[in-house]
């Protein structure tokens, strides 16, 4: 037996820990202080931060100060001063320098400083510098918003010139189409966006909020343009857009303060009444101008109607291309989840809107208008909501959802338009082939068969009367 049992066990442990204690004394105990204590800067901008590193006497001349960032794609740091310790620093056990912080992309990250001695692993200070990178307000953004507002107002003047007021009255007297559209717009779309948000982004509440805000927004002005281009019922579309925009004054707050709080309890949700009101004014006033032109300047109104389809197509292309160029930075945030979310919301809206309309025995032109009105959302309102509900940079980061929806929205409509053009070309080619094979006298309406053409015109005129 050991005479000092069981004390020998304690002595053995102490002897084993002594080398570790001696080793720990050689490791610097660093503390870092930053001025300012945190940084918020715009993308592609630079800020400067003063840093002071203190130690317990283990700093040596020749040691190097190293900067590290948790997420290099968000921000990077470099020294704006010498980063090697001098003998004065060793004597004072303190080093002072200046960091140049560069904002690369939207997001939050932390920067740290450490001391590196030779080939040994660097010793990191416990303190961190929080860095927030946000998006700057740019002139090109203002130009884009102003130009889109101007061109869309011109299109709605054209719509007013093309609107047939008696048809609109009939729609309002028997509002079957608007009721179907309202059910799709304000019941199906919010519930679907709520469910898709939890399915696609189970661990990202901010992204779910972006989905939900997009789903509760009213229909966008592009729905009327696409309805006209694809041959839908324009009068029904204009009536539905006006009704849904007015109705969202009451329906949108109900969704925002019920399911919206479930999606993101800490969000500062504000209903954008002023934004909605400006959209209503921008919708009704240009259409009223167009209706006045129908009555007082019919020749100009007829000309506006003739150029409507080409003008609408040009404006759509302008909006899509300009929007992509203006927001190129946001494509770095695109993932498969973002793409699926952008496709799911409008495409399911198109399908359900058309299906509901056909089940209710609506004609194809009306069903097409209802489908487009259901699937197209006013993403501008959802972006506005996100800016107020979330702090930066989360607000800008979550706008990737409505931006993705806006990019994916025209794809089915464009495919349908291309299909219609190809089909029309095939039909015209077949007619021309039949005309060549059978002769002009067998084709109704040709120059060689004036009697048939006259009969056709006469019937058309009777029907018009």
Asked if 381 and 275 count as a contact pair (C-beta separation under 8 A), the reply is yes
Tokens of 387: 């800016």
Residues 6+ apart with CB under 8 A from 117: 60, 62, 63, 64
Cα–Cα distance between 298 and 145 in angstroms, integer? Answer: 31
- Lowest-pLDDT range of 264-268, 297-301, 330-334: 264-268
Hey, how many other C-beta atoms are within 10 angstroms of the C-beta on 248?
Answer: 25
What pTM did the predictor assign? 0.73
Asked if 393 and 108 count as a contact pair (C-beta separation under 8 A), the reply is yes
Of the chain, the percentage scoring pLDDT greater than 90 comes to 27
Q: Indicate if the pLDDT at residue 281 is higher than 90.
A: no
Q: Which has the higher per-residue pLDDT, 232 or 431?
A: 232
Q: How confident is the model at residue 175 (pLDDT cuts 50, 70, 90)?
A: confident
Which residue stretches of 94-188 are H helix? 139-162, 165-173, 176-183
Q: Indicate if the pLDDT at residue 12 is higher than 70.
A: no
Give the per-residue pLDDT at 10.
Answer: 63
Cα–Cα distance between 214 and 402 in angstroms, integer? Answer: 6
Which residue stretches of 174-233 are H helix? 176-183, 189-200, 205-216, 222-229
C-alpha 220: how far from chain center: 14
Q: Indicate if the pLDDT at residue 454 is higher than 80.
A: no
Q: Which of 68, 21, 19, 78 has its CA nearest to residue 47? A: 78
Give the per-residue pLDDT at 411.
Answer: 92
Q: Which has the higher per-residue pLDDT, 98 or 284?
A: 98
Give the per-residue pLDDT at 14.
Answer: 58
| SS3 assignment, position 76 | strand
Q: Indicate if the pLDDT at residue 270 is higher than 60.
A: yes
Q: Indicate if the pLDDT at residue 261 is higher than 70.
A: yes
Give the per-residue pLDDT at 457.
Answer: 36
For the chain, list the domains and their CATH numbers: 139-422 (1.20.1530.20)
Cα–Cα distance between 309 and 295 in angstroms, integer? Answer: 21
Which residue stretches of 257-272 are H helix? 259-263
Q: How confident is the model at residue 349 (pLDDT cuts 50, 70, 90)?
A: very high
pLDDT tens per residue across span 30-60: 788 999 999 999 998 999 999 998 887 667 7
Q: Indicate if the pLDDT at residue 340 is higher than 90.
A: yes
Tokens of 411: 């794809």
What average pLDDT does the segment 187-196 reach? Answer: 93
């Amino acid at each position: 037996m050991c005479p000092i049992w069981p004390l020998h066990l304690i002595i053995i442990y102490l002897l084993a820990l002594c080398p570790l204690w001696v080793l720990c004394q050689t490791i610097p105990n660093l503390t870092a202080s930053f001025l300012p204590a945190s940084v918020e800067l715009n993308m592609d901008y630079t800020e400067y931060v003063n840093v002071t590193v203190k130690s317990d006497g283990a700093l040596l001349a020749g040691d190097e100060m190293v900067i590290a960032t948790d997420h290099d794609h968000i921000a990077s740091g470099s020294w704006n001063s010498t980063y090697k310790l001098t003998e004065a620093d060793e004597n004072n056990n303190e080093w002072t320098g200046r960091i140049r912080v560069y904002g690369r992309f939207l997001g939050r990250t932390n920067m740290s400083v450490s001391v590196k001695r030779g080939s040994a692993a660097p010793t990191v200070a416990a303190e961190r510098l929080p860095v927030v990178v946000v998006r700057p307000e740019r002139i090109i953004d203002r130009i884009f918003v102003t130009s889109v507002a101007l061109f869309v107002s011109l299109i709605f003047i054209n719509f007013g010139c093309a609107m047939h007021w008696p048809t609109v009255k009939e729609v309002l007297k028997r509002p079957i189409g608007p009721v179907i559209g309202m059910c799709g717009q304000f019941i199906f779309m919010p519930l679907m966006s709520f469910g898709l948000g939890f399915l696609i982004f189970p661990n990202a509440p901010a992204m779910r909020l972006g989905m939900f805000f997009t789903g509760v927004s009213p229909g966008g002005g592009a729905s009327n343009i696409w309805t006209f281009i694809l041959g839908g019922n324009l009068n029904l579309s204009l009536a539905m857009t006006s009704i849904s925009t007015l109705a969202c004054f009451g329906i949108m707050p109900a969704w925002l303060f019920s399911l919206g709080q479930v999606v993101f309890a800490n969000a500062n949700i504000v209903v954008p009444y002023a934004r909605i009101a400006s959209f209503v004014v921008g919708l009704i006033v240009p259409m009223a101008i167009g209706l006045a032109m129908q009555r007082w300047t019919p020749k100009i109104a007829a000309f506006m109607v003739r150029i409507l389809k080409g003008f609408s197509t040009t404006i759509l292309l302008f909006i899509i291309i300009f929007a992509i160029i203006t927001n190129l930075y946001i494509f770095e945030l695109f993932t498969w989840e973002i793409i699926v979310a952008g496709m799911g919301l409008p495409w399911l809206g198109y399908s359900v809107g058309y299906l509901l309309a056909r089940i209710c025995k609506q004609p194809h032109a009306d069903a097409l208008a209802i489908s487009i009105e259901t699937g197209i959302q006013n993403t501008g309102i959802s972006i506005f909501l996100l800016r107020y509900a979330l702090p930066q940079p989360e607000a800008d980061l979550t706008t990737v959802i409505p931006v993705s929806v806006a990019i994916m929205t025209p794809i089915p409509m464009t495919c349908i338009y291309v299909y219609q053009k190809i089909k029309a070309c095939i039909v015209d080619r077949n007619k021309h082939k039949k005309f060549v094979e059978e002769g002009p006298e067998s084709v109704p309406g040709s120059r060689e068969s004036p009697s048939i053409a006259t009969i056709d015109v006469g019937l058309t005129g009777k029907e018009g009367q």
